[in-house]
Chains A and B, each alone.
Chain A
Amino acid sequence: MASTDLIAQEVSRHDDSRRFVNDFSLQVATVNGSGSQSANTILLRSIFQMGIPVSGKNLFPSNIAGLPTWYTIRANKHGYIGRKKEIDFLIAMNQETAREDVLSLSPGGAVLYDEPMNLASLRPDLTFYPVPFDKIVATVCPEAKLRKLVKNMIYVGVMAHLLGLDMVQLEKALRKQFARKQKAADLNWGAAKAGFDYAASTLTKKDPCRVERMDKTAGKIIVDGNTAAALGCMFAGVTVVTWYPITPSSSLVETLIDYMKRYRIRPDGKATFAIVQAEDELAAIGMVFGAGWAGARSMTATAGPGISLMAEFAGLGYYAEIPAVIWNIQRVGPSTGMPTRTAQGDVLFTAFLSHGDTQHIMLFPASVEECFTMAQDAFNLAEWFQTPVFVMSDLDLGMNNWMSDPFLYPTQPIERGKVLSKEDLDRLGGFARYKDVDGDGIGYRTLPGTEHPAAAYFVRGSGHNEKAQYTERPDDYENNMLRLAHKFDTARTRVPKSVETGSGHERVGIIAYGTSHWAIIESRDQLRDEHGLETDYLRIRAYPFPREVQDFIENHERVYVVEQNRDGQLFDLLRLDLPVEQVAKLRSIAHCNGLPLDARSVTDELMNLEGN
């Protein structure tokens, strides 16, 4: 479209007036430690309660106080809840980043800012709303030391007016946030109202971002992935949790502790669980394997550096065949990397974690709902296959707020796998721990404490034969390793299946996993609407790859593998797994800047690779 075409511009301007209704991204720029989290959650919930699909992403520093933090709220009438690349509305509360934040706004956007910052002259194409925060807060908050916190609620009130938020919903969200603190609730409600009144009497609405009531969130919940995972583990019947704090996984265990104390302590005060904060990740994973060996459903949660430390034990778990569940809430590496930014950067490392020929089952949750269900899958798979199972979440999923349908009560039973009891041993007379009796590569195990003279076996990381005896015999070693490979192959049929969407007859396929999913569903619509390119989409949910992955690639001319790391790690894993003629069909789209993947980046890159 030529930019000199006046009629076209008119039409587009007309469209614009509705384009940002229930479809915009707003960003709150503040400093961490200023207490803006409550304000942002209330803003998010108010929009949600008006029936509008919404998502919240916290972009925060690895720091406790004083460094820049951005919180992004995306409202989208179509239900897209991935990150949007463009920011339409900025709430500028941080002098340090204000200039750069304003310069990066999309054309025609708006800025609400603390008046003394004097931002209005920075760009002529934006709408600026100055607000004298200090003056307003002084009138509603007599206690000077609380003003820094209460100040945030003023922008919530101002935004309520500018966006057209329902104040009834806002008050409801606010009172939920401060449920156990009546005084704080009243104080903050006063501030929100003062912000609203100021905006109503002083500001003239000029930007197009608005909300209108919809009905797309009825019955839904808002929750972060770590909370969902914690709930999943509790309902999966976890009994032993050993961990070492590390961002972004700590909140998974901390939330789990809260829930377990509330719902897993018997009336006599006895706990049906043990949670231990270990001295480091080496000990955390050692305890997990000790507990798994002795028969508990045991788990830990960690992130990249912890995974590195767990490498040696992971090999023991694989080789000695001990159930364990390890949550890896991935963050940006290498090394310490960016601890508070998101990535899918541990996929390749985790797949083969440890020395020698080692392979691990991995699950890739894409949603909070899958954090809940895959917790149950993970424990069942770990006990069924007697091996560590890694659940590969990430910071975006784990720590951000996601809208979801409520979780369903588990229907799958708690499967403890092939464990022989005293009675079984009475009948059998004995057993060989690592013998493939059933042809699936999985042996039978006994638990320590089993009251039978033939129950004991010696578990070791050194070479062993079918009877778990030490061996250096070439045939014993090789047979055992081949059985382990066979067992891993069996897992292909038991891990969560991939999810295919699309007609199934398109030439172009897309493969993605985990949180990349949210960008893909939006990008596929962009590809269709903007470029006329229809695509099929396969979302992989587990490694080893189930058979349908090959079928999908077989049925497409080109398959784009989209992920959030530099080197295309799942792309590489696929290349190792696929027949050579299929490998030639794969193309990698890898995204690595620490921000959650957005649809626009995928669409642009894919069209670029398509030669457009």
Chain B
Amino acid sequence: MATTPTAEPKTNRIGLTVIDYKGGKTTLCAGCGHNAISERIIDAMYEMGVKPEHVAKFSGIGCSSKSPAYFMSRSHSFNAVHGRMPSVATGALLANHNLIALGVSGDGDTASIGIGQFIHLMRRNLPLIYIIEDNGVYGLTKGQFSATADLGSKLKTGVINDLPPIDTCALAIQLGASFVGRSFSGDKRQLLAMLKAAIAHRGTVMLDVISPCVTFNDHEGSTKSYKYMKDHDEPLQEISFIPSFEDIDVDYDAGTTVDLTMHDGSHLRLRKLDANYDPTDKLLAIKTLSTAHHEGETLTGVFYIDPNKPTFMDLLHVTDEPLATLPAEATRPPKAVLDEVMESLR
């Protein structure tokens, strides 16, 4: 045994091992799509070499919103009230715009109780990665429909959904999010590439990730089951991501591949499976989503991206140093100011 050479644990570009990105043990059901998403978040953060202490995690209420406890324990995390994570994340970023903000929500937390805050978050293009772990049902309250459940989708109890779904991607694109995509918890490669691109992006990234609920919505008749996704997942592109710190491979076919330079110098390469798709065209994105929906296909991929849109923080023109840690000298004006104001009130 003494002769067996111990391999150095593999480290990323900032010298951390993947263990440094782990969280607590999951309490979600075995096979839950959310666990796979947590794993991909760990991989993406590790591979991108993000310092865990620079990340702030946010969530609302529901199965999805528990998951930040299951990855990256070295990052601060805020588990807010139901449907109100966007406001908490907004406030935290106002206080410290250097934080890399990652929000995890669910379809109920986002599209029902949280739709108001979701809408205004998208409008502001806050620098935040917003992930919807979308399974079409309320898991923690035992399987009621959510507002992303497809028309005609069936509950375990046999109840048929008779209301149309909210397409959170179309909504986000229309409202102003600058990076919008959909993925599937079962598609490791696609989801990882999208998450890495999300980390490189500046602005709101809205990722709707279909994440089957093995307990309440994985049966025949569900449109959010593993089987349904296997049959109906229609990737729009093949996605590859080349981070800014890696050598760029110059070879790509400009006729079939869109190469997007991200804000930090990374490259997002989308090899078009549909020859005409342009991910910088808002109207086309919304039309494409509607068409796919009409045809009963679950389109995945990067639907829309604007790498240079000003974020909410840009509009506020705050100091480079976080407001949270400005010293008293910077936040309490001198006595002369009070004297001047008092004089004007005499």
Chain A interface residues (CB < 8 Å from chain B):
219-223, 227, 231, 234-240, 242, 259, 263-264, 266, 269-274, 276, 278-280, 282-298, 312-313, 316, 406-407, 409-410, 413-414, 446-453, 455-462, 470
A276 lies within 8 A of B319 (CB): no
Main secondary structure of the interface of B (DSSP, over half): helix
Chain A residues within an 8 Å CB radius of B116: 279-280, 282-283
A447 lies within 8 A of B117 (CB): no
- Interface positions, chain B 46-84, Cβ under 8 Å from A, are 51-54, 56, 58, 68-69, 73-81, 84
Residue of B nearest to A410 (CB): B332
Digit string of B320-331 for contact with A (CB within 8 Å is 1, else 0)?
Answer: 101111101011
The answer, yes or no, to whether B10 is at the interface (CB within 8 Å) is no
The answer, yes or no, to whether B254 is at the interface (CB within 8 Å) is no
The answer, yes or no, to whether B44 is at the interface (CB within 8 Å) is no
B91 lies within 8 A of A292 (CB): yes
Chain B interface residues (CB < 8 Å from chain A):
20, 51-54, 56, 58, 68-69, 73-81, 84, 86-96, 98-99, 116-117, 119-120, 316-320, 322-326, 328, 330-333, 335, 337-338, 341-342, 345-346
The 9 A-B pairs at the shortest CB distance, nearest first, are namely A290-B91, A286-B87, A295-B324, A237-B331, A296-B95, A287-B91, A448-B76, A294-B95, A291-B91
Residue of A nearest to B337 (CB): A263
Q: A221-B345, A290-B93, A414-B328 are in contact. List 15 more A-B contacts (CB 8 A).
A: A222-B346, A223-B345, A235-B333, A240-B95, A279-B116, A282-B84, A286-B90, A286-B117, A287-B91, A293-B88, A295-B96, A313-B81, A449-B53, A455-B76, A459-B78
A294 lies within 8 A of B333 (CB): no
Residue of A nearest to B345 (CB): A221
Of the candidates B80, B88, B323, B333, which one forms a contact with A296 in the assembled complex, judged by CB atoms under 8 Å apart?
Answer: B323
Which of A271, A283, A462 has most chain B Cβ within 10 Å?
A: A283
A239 lies within 8 A of B342 (CB): no
Q: What are 5 sample pairs from A and B whose C-beta atoms fall under 8 A apart?
A: A237-B331, A242-B90, A271-B318, A287-B88, A448-B75
Q: When A235-B332, A237-B332, A239-B95 are in contact, do A287 and B346 touch as well, CB less than 8 Å?
A: no
B91 lies within 8 A of A272 (CB): no
Residue of A nearest to B68 (CB): A458
B117 lies within 8 A of A240 (CB): no
- A594 to B200, alpha carbons, bound, how many Å? 56
A448 lies within 8 A of B332 (CB): no
A461 lies within 8 A of B81 (CB): yes
Residue of A nearest to B16 (CB): A453
Of the candidates A286, A407, A453, which one forms a contact with B74 in the assembled complex, judged by CB atoms under 8 Å apart?
Answer: A453
Chain A residues within an 8 Å CB radius of B316: 271, 274, 276
Of the candidates A222, A259, A282, A287, which one forms a contact with B90 in the assembled complex, judged by CB atoms under 8 Å apart?
Answer: A287
Which of B68, B76, B87, B96 has most chain A Cβ within 10 Å?
A: B87
Chain A residues within an 8 Å CB radius of B81: 286, 312-313, 316, 461
Residue of B nearest to A290 (CB): B91
A274 lies within 8 A of B318 (CB): yes
Which of A270, A280, A448, A461 has most chain B Cβ within 10 Å?
A: A448
- A272 to B319, alpha carbons, bound, how many Å? 6
Nearest CB of A to B335, in Å: 4
Which of B51, B93, B119, B319 has most chain A Cβ within 10 Å?
A: B319
Q: When A282-B87, A455-B53 are in contact, do A295 and B325 touch as well, CB less than 8 Å?
A: yes
B79 lies within 8 A of A456 (CB): no
A279 lies within 8 A of B324 (CB): no
Q: When A282-B87, A295-B322 are in contact, do A449 and B333 touch as well, CB less than 8 Å?
A: no
Which of A223, A449, A456, A457 has most chain B Cβ within 10 Å?
A: A449
Chain A residues within an 8 Å CB radius of B319: 266, 270-272
A238 lies within 8 A of B331 (CB): yes
Residue of A nearest to B72 (CB): A456
